[in-house]
Amino acid sequence: MPTLPLYQIDAFTDRVFRGNPAAVVPLEHWLPEATLQAIAAENNLAETAFFVPRGDGYHIRWFTPKQEVVLCGHATLASAHVILRHLAPTLARVEFTSLSGLLSVTHTPEGYTLDFPRFEFEPVPLPPPVVAEALGVTPIEVFKVTVDPNYYAVLSSEATVRNLTPNLSLLETLHPFGVVVTARGTTHDMVSRYFAPSYAIPEDPTTGSIHCALAPYWASKIGRTSLTAFQASERGGSMRCELRGNRVFLTGSAVQYMEGRISIEG
């Protein structure tokens, strides 16, 4: 019976049961897309990452339980952890080609640093009324990113972000947009939470990709290009963000929870 390696890595944390769990499935060659999607649905995590060797690096793809996405930070970090820990332990850096272009991850004394694209954000003077209705609060402002479709609602305080209980059924009607809520932090420069129920992700524990927009937004408000971030989900996760031109560098840790094999034929 054909089997595939499977790793489960908790990303943006140095402790198991925290941060964001990602499934990682290294492949020798691409399987049919329906099989990749079925594996992601079976794993039932926010993201399953698949990668195949390409040149001196790898080609990576990410699937939620419902569909493929254009970028995923925590599953890229998790994939780099698997490669640099198990598959190519003599390396300190790995490059990925992806739907979002060239990405790289470097292992440093601080953890892993992801080199990601910077997302430009667009103010939304008249956001869909369902955003405020679903959140149960009126945002200070709302902006959006279309390349990785999300609305970003800026709230008045960290406490408001932490105490939010959104109406997920209403948020689901915004598909393909998810919704990020964010505020200035008390012990970190920024805090956030992320809801994407239409992708089968009611709340993502810690999300690298949204910080490709959060970092430049808060940098413009705070006046610094190096920022600390905390995602205030139940599991929680943190990272350091640094702007360098049109790139955002995200630094965080990862820890392995599980290693096994999966069967793809019954």
Averaged pLDDT for residues 180-198: 98
pLDDT of residue 2: 83
Torsion of CA 208, 212, 213, 218, to 10 degrees: 90
Task: Retrieve residue 24's tokens.
Answer: 């990682």
Q: Say yes or no: 79 and 190 in one domain.
A: no
Averaged pLDDT for residues 132-158: 97
**Pairing relation of β-strands 20-26 and 48-54?**
parallel
pLDDT at 29 over 80: yes
> Would you place residue 250 in the very low, low, confident or very high pLDDT band (cuts 50, 70, 90)?
very high
Q: Say yes or no: 82 and 126 in one domain.
A: no
pLDDT at 266 over 80: no
pLDDT at 227 over 70: yes
pLDDT of residue 10: 98
Q: Say yes or no: 239 and 259 in one domain.
A: no
Could you list the active site residues? 47
User: Looking at the 3D structure of the chain, how many domains does it have?
Assistant: 2
pLDDT of residue 234: 96
Q: Say yes or no: 258 and 230 in one domain.
A: no
pLDDT of residue 1: 58
**How far from 121 is each of 10, 90, 214, CA to CA, in Å?**
28, 38, 9
Mean residue pLDDT of the chain comes to 96
- For 78, the domain range is 3-117+251-263
Q: Say yes or no: 219 and 126 in one domain.
A: yes
Averaged pLDDT for residues 196-223: 97
Contact status, residue 60 vs residue 49, Cβ threshold 8 Å = yes
Q: Say yes or no: 20 and 104 in one domain.
A: yes
How far is the C-alpha of 231 from the C-alpha of 13, rounded, in Å?
11
pLDDT of residue 133: 97
pLDDT of residue 265: 80
pLDDT at 200 over 70: yes
**How do residues 55-95 score in pLDDT, each as one tens digit?**
999 999 999 999 999 999 999 999 999 999 999 999 999 99
User: The pTM is what?
Assistant: 0.96
Averaged pLDDT for residues 239-254: 98
**How far from 160 is each of 125, 149, 198, 214, CA to CA, in Å?**
21, 23, 23, 17
Q: Say yes or no: 93 and 166 in one domain.
A: no
Q: Say yes or no: 86 and 187 in one domain.
A: no
Q: How far apart are the first and last CA of the chain?
A: 8
